[in-house]
Amino acid sequence: MSSSSNVDKLADIRHVTVILRLALNRRGRLLHGELVNTEETKPRRFEGWIGLTHTLREWLASQLHDNPSTH
């Protein structure tokens, strides 16, 4: 692979920070939480593991729509 293609691939990378705030019961079971993107002001709330995975997938899909040149 040439160094110019490596530079092109690196230029297409966008790093984001996502914070998960989780509420766990005493046994460590996920009850609910929030997904916070440091670029957004409103957290996305969810309940349980299914809610977490759904919210994360939804957020990732929105990133594709916001940045169509990165997919």
Residue with tokens 């409103």: 42
Cβ-count burial of 59 within 10 angstroms (0-12 exposed, 13-18 middle, 19+ buried)? Answer: middle
Q: Is residue 6 a part of any domain in this protein? A: no
Q: Is residue 1 a part of any domain in this protein? A: no
Residue with tokens 């759904």: 54
Instruction: Spell out the residues 6+ positions from residue 22 whose beta carbon is closer than 8 angstroms to its own.
Output: 30, 32, 33
What are the tokens at 46?
A: 């969810």
Q: What is the pLDDT of residues 29-69, one digit of tens each?
A: 999 999 998 888 899 999 999 999 999 999 999 888 766 55
Q: Is residue 26 a part of any domain in this protein? A: yes
What pLDDT does residue 20 have? 96
Range of the domain at 45: 17-70
